[in-house]
A and B are shown apart, each in its own frame.
Chain A
């Protein structure tokens, strides 16, 4: 991340700078998604204005919400398992922050250049299930427990199509490292969305379910379960869950843009040029917003699935389709 700045840092200084940039890289897209899509786009699609009072066109609404959550009382249910209940949002948030580590924003603008790249991202994203289960069980409430169990069942089921949809890209690029996946797309001359369109569709559906966004929001189904595993949370701890949910949406969109839309690269521009380190993160941000738009568009368009329909879609449809995609990709890789 620091090479482009052309500054010499000691290890501890570099760590501090990375933490600050990491915080910005997680929180800024999160705020952008919540304001642009959740506050505004959703309102316009439902023929209303959304928040308008705070700042010009309601632009300061996020700060107002943040202030509101901060001053709320941190309520613990008296029968809850205090320790597990308190720790749960942090487990989810740690998983989110570890995801951003492997995202490349330019040829040398990254936090860490792991050779396991995308594999690491999929592994740490599965840790958030533990936080969800901790929240569901630790609240000691029926609705929360039901929500937690639904969330876990759903996340386990959709992790498989998510992993398998990425395998096609990995076969084509011949590497797990996200930076090299981006570079191999400019070597190919086309973004992987064209040869891997099936993989891209499966990836989109799988992240929609992994993020528990509607139409896959049974874990927090408000008409059945109050708000599922979030029922007993209030104030800052609820805010942490909320940030984690939308930050993960942003990061999964960015990973999707990296895998299928060429990451930081612009067509016909040298992807390894020095200036790409500066404009790369913004290009990646625009592509991320494009994919996030699809997620929120599906969110406001489709009604909620039933639990059995959800499981059937994953196990009987998406997984065989993803396996078929892998076989076809592997055959093409060997033949050509």
Chain B
């Protein structure tokens, strides 16, 4: 009896997860299309916020709580804010703007399609027809994430730190007046 209840609850959770996945995905696709078709650069940046918030929501839906919060902090709280800051300081006008479309749209589409193919190949190669089982329904703890970063992936972590530092120094050198 208990097993039956447990199974139906789990099934209900999976169904709810799927429903929300497709709802969020639909919003994300719409917002992503508006990012590239919008005729005002600030509107495009604000639609980008919706896309990035959707990514965070998908992470949370998959139980990757830490990743979702990091997505909000880094991308919405910092990257897009700096985008908006830069745009508003320099050229943002209210109303539609002509010539906002870039001429390199065909190479861009080609790049996007190729990226899609590579990622689709990676996912299909990894899982094939098998269904990936959800190991535990509860969210991954912060401790597990930090243990993984600072033991298994320590080399990659340090490499990224050095890369970011180099980018930071590079930005200062480029921006410095001589």
Q: Which residues of A contact B (CB under 8 A)?
A: 79-81, 84, 114-116, 119-120, 122-124, 126-127, 129-130, 133-134, 136-138, 140, 145, 148-149, 152-153, 156, 159, 176
B interface: dominant SS: helix
Residue from B42, B49, B73, B94 within 8 A of A126 (CB atoms): B73
Sample (25) of A-B pairs whose CB atoms are under 8 Å apart: A79-B94, A81-B42, A84-B43, A84-B46, A114-B65, A115-B65, A115-B139, A115-B141, A116-B142, A119-B69, A120-B69, A123-B69, A126-B73, A127-B72, A127-B77, A129-B77, A130-B49, A130-B80, A137-B88, A137-B94, A140-B94, A148-B88, A149-B88, A149-B89, A153-B85
Q: Is B62 an interface residue (CB 8 A)?
A: no
B137 CB to closest chain A CB, in angstroms?
14
> By the criterion CB–CB under 8 Å, are A81 and B94 in contact?
yes
Residue from B46, B77, B78, B88 within 8 A of A145 (CB atoms): B88
With A84-B42, A123-B77, A127-B76 already in contact, the answer to whether A136 and B69 are too (CB < 8 A) is no
With A114-B65, A123-B72, A145-B88 already in contact, the answer to whether A152 and B42 are too (CB < 8 A) is no
Q: Is B92 an interface residue (CB 8 A)?
A: yes
Residue from B73, B78, B139 within 8 A of A156 (CB atoms): B78
> By the criterion CB–CB under 8 Å, are A130 and B73 in contact?
no
> By the criterion CB–CB under 8 Å, are A126 and B77 in contact?
yes
How many positions in chain B have a CB within 8 Å of any CB in the partner chain?
A: 27
The docked-state distance in angstroms from the alpha carbon of A124 to that of B57 is: 13
Give 20 new A-B contacts, CB below 8 A, not counting A134-B46, A156-B81: A81-B40, A81-B94, A116-B65, A120-B69, A123-B69, A123-B77, A126-B72, A126-B73, A126-B77, A127-B77, A129-B77, A130-B76, A130-B84, A133-B88, A137-B84, A137-B94, A148-B88, A152-B85, A156-B85, A159-B77
The docked-state distance in angstroms from the alpha carbon of A116 to that of B65 is: 7
Q: Mark B134-170, 1 if CB is under 8 A from A, else 0.
A: 0000010110000000000000000000000000000
Q: Quick one: which of B77, B82, B88, B92 has the most chain A CB within 10 A? A: B77
Q: Is B66 an interface residue (CB 8 A)?
A: yes
Chain B residues, Cβ within 8 Å of A79: 94
